[in-house]
Amino acid sequence: MDSSLKVEKPYVVGIDIGGTNTVFGLVDARGTVVDVDKIKTGKYEKAEDYVDAVCTGLEKLIEKNGGKDKVKGIGIGAPNGNYYTGTIEFAPNLPWKGIVPLARLFEERIGIPTALTNDANAAAIGEMTYGAARGMKNFIMITLGTGVGSGIVINGQMVYGCDGFAGELGHVTIRRDGRQCGCGRKGCLEAYCSATGVARSAREKLAQSTEPSLLREIPVDDITSKDVFDAAQKGDKIAKEIFEFTGQLLGEAFVDFIAFCSPEAIILFGGLAHAGDLLFEPIRKTVDANVMPIFKGKCKLLMSELKDADAAVLGASALGWELKELEA
Amino acid sequence: MDSSLKVEKPYVVGIDIGGTNTVFGLVDARGTVVDVDKIKTGKYEKAEDYVDAVCTGLEKLIEKNGGKDKVKGIGIGAPNGNYYTGTIEFAPNLPWKGIVPLARLFEERIGIPTALTNDANAAAIGEMTYGAARGMKNFIMITLGTGVGSGIVINGQMVYGCDGFAGELGHVTIRRDGRQCGCGRKGCLEAYCSATGVARSAREKLAQSTEPSLLREIPVDDITSKDVFDAAQKGDKIAKEIFEFTGQLLGEAFVDFIAFCSPEAIILFGGLAHAGDLLFEPIRKTVDANVMPIFKGKCKLLMSELKDADAAVLGASALGWELKELEA
């Protein structure tokens, strides 16, 4: 029988590289994480040793599930990852300095085709392959975590720009001469609408008034976005105002994003997105009140459909389906 | 001989629909406007009569140059033109109300495949086909005329978005709660950086001080952006400050556009772009001082290479090369 001659490749590997942990897993075509493991990213000073450690772990997963012939490709999501070159470039929270040719190191070590992109782009590809953006040709993924990241899809393709780094929507200016941002500039969306931005809004708001708030029971420097969420859920006025403010700024930014690329949807992902209507309502209100008439009511605001625990690995893995065989 | 059986189609037609004039011309593959004519747009209350008048004129040009078999397609640039549907939708400055299926009307009347897009997108396609963006896969065209328009190219494709109307960069918010814009919203880039915006800046600046200026010799309501340019060229301080301010705001907007799609170039087109260094210098200074470090020095700022007189027809015509034969 001819079909027996064809090697089936039912799996891809997704690797999510974070400053603390690297999570890697085997994923099937339905988006099920079949098997997963992790190592500490910071333990390996040399990129080669790190790649060896990940591959040793991966090989165990792969052997358990039918061997290397079953794996179509490896997708990696990493901070400052460049899809065009397969390199990580000057990532401040990773142990390896300068430009690291990570995709090539993986291919050489394990012999499976490997592609790499930044974490927010990986989330967008994951959403398009397995999540809320299935079938969409134009959408924006906004990741609300420690920072604000984005992945943009236009005409069914990821937007990488001329250099591989496009899609830094966390760093559009939302308040001219506003808050200092970690990127060295001022007034970036990320300085307000990330988890750390929300905590900062809390400290500012508490300092500006003497109004009672559940948040005053927490040492001011320890307040997290989760604390603000918990207080808002209990009806705390200041906490609710903080979400109102955060949603308003996101909405103002989204209005400009819509004028740029008229996406079918903007999809929110990450810890803060779970605030649900506390955040979605002020975003919707601001977008509806400010969007150009021609775009009114056209762009959906959605929550990611990827489970948080799996999302990073899933997103990265989706890159793997597009890969071709390595040349011998 | 086989090659004689193949009908050569060396020309495309470009039609530029403006509120006052409609200009139409025959263009060859090198971007030479071989022949051109025009009619008054406003004379025709019914779209069908208008299409008939344009086609009557076109047929004369086409017959003079070898007949209909030599024409590959017709491209139309029009305000509020929708590429997906070939319709003009609610264009405030055109005589036909509602949604007008213009591409279809042309195809039915003249029997040549026809595509349509808005004027700024047409300019971008023209620049990519014949001008400064030849060979570029990622760039933004900004048209500085009565309004501010834009055409965005990503991964070698025009960005039309989910509805055909993407690329309204004249209506990103550059000053929160700023000047009233013609679109009904406040603080849009267009309210500051269009020709009318520059004239408005002049009136504001003259009212705010008593400093002498050449511009004070002109009745304040008659001042145009051309007057401001002429005064600046003569060294007038207030006029130079107006260009400085206009360039600064464009630069601030470009910084966000770069974070969005990391284009190889931003290309300026239209009357104001001819201000040259008066405008380009403050744009460059603002971009260099504010762009994210990762994008520094990557995005070129260029002047359109299309001649103003031909540009609109050329741009529209470029759409024609992509068209397939009509079905019989």
Residue B7 banded pLDDT, cuts 50, 70, 90: low
Q: Give the position of tokens 């036909």.
A: B96
pLDDT averaged over every residue in chain A: 94
Comparing A2-125+310-320 with A135-305, is the CATH topology the same? Answer: yes
What is the percentage of chain B residues whose pLDDT exceeds 90? 87
Tell me how close the Cα of A256 comes to any Cα of chain B, in angstroms.
5
pLDDT one-digit tens code per residue, B212-244:
999 999 999 999 999 999 999 999 999 999 999
Q: Give the position of tokens 């948040």.
A: A215
pLDDT of residue B311: 85
Out of B160, B262, B293, closest to residue A163 by CB: B262
CB contact under 8 A, B171 and A292: yes
Residue-range domain boundaries for chain B: 2-125+310-322, 135-305
pLDDT one-digit tens code per residue, A124-173:
999 999 999 999 999 999 999 889 999 999 999 999 999 999 999 999 99
pLDDT averaged over every residue in chain B: 94
CATH fit for domain B135-305, picks 3.90.550.10, 3.40.50.2300, 3.30.420.40, 3.90.1150.10: 3.30.420.40
Token pair listed for B121: 């997108």
The complex scores an ipTM of 0.93
Decide if pLDDT at B183 tops 60. Answer: yes
In chain B, what residues touch A152 (CB-CB under 8 Å)?
Answer: 260-261
Decide if pLDDT at A98 tops 50. Answer: yes
Q: Give the position of tokens 């500012």.
A: A204
CB contact under 8 A, B261 and A138: no
Chain centroid to Cα A241, Å, comes to: 26
Out of B185, B257, B294, closest to residue A165 by CB: B294
Residue A2 banded pLDDT, cuts 50, 70, 90: very low
CA distance B164 to B217: 45
pLDDT of residue A6: 52
> Residue B135, SS3?
coil
CB contact under 8 A, B161 and A262: yes
CA proximity to B314, closest of B147, B49, B114, B119: B119
Query: In this structure, what is the dihedral angle of CA atoms A311, A316, A322, A324, given to the nearest 10 degrees?
Result: -140
Alpha-helical segments (H) within chain B? 47-64, 102-110, 119-130, 190-193, 195-208, 225-233, 237-261, 277-290, 308-318
Out of B173, B252, B260, closest to residue A252 by CB: B173
pLDDT of residue A3: 45
CB contact under 8 A, A292 and B157: no
What is the percentage of chain A residues whose pLDDT exceeds 70? 98
How many other β-carbons are positioned within 10 Å of the β-carbon of residue B102?
26
In chain A, what residues touch B164 (CB-CB under 8 Å)?
Answer: 262
Question: Which CATH fold topology does A2-125+310-320 show?
Answer: Nucleotidyltransferase; domain 5 (3.30.420)
pLDDT of residue A72: 96
pLDDT one-digit tens code per residue, B277-305:
999 999 999 999 999 999 999 999 999 99
Put the strands of the sheet holding A139-144 in their side by side order.
Answer: A157-158, A148-154, A139-144, A265-269, A300-303
Question: Which CATH fold topology does B2-125+310-322 show?
Answer: Nucleotidyltransferase; domain 5 (3.30.420)
Out of B164, B260, B293, closest to residue A166 by CB: B260
pTM value > 0.90: yes
| Cα three-residue angle B312-B304-B178, rounded to 5 degrees | 90
The arithmetic mean of pLDDT across residues B240-257, rounded, is 98
Q: Which amino acid is at A277?
A: D
pLDDT one-digit tens code per residue, A51-96:
999 999 999 999 999 999 999 999 999 988 999 999 999 888 899 9
Count of CB pairs separated by less than 8 Å, A with B: 126
The arithmetic mean of pLDDT across residues A101-108, rounded, is 97
SS (H, E, C) A315-327: HHHHHHCCCCCCC
pLDDT one-digit tens code per residue, B110-135:
999 999 999 899 999 999 999 999 99
Token pair listed for A240: 């609710």
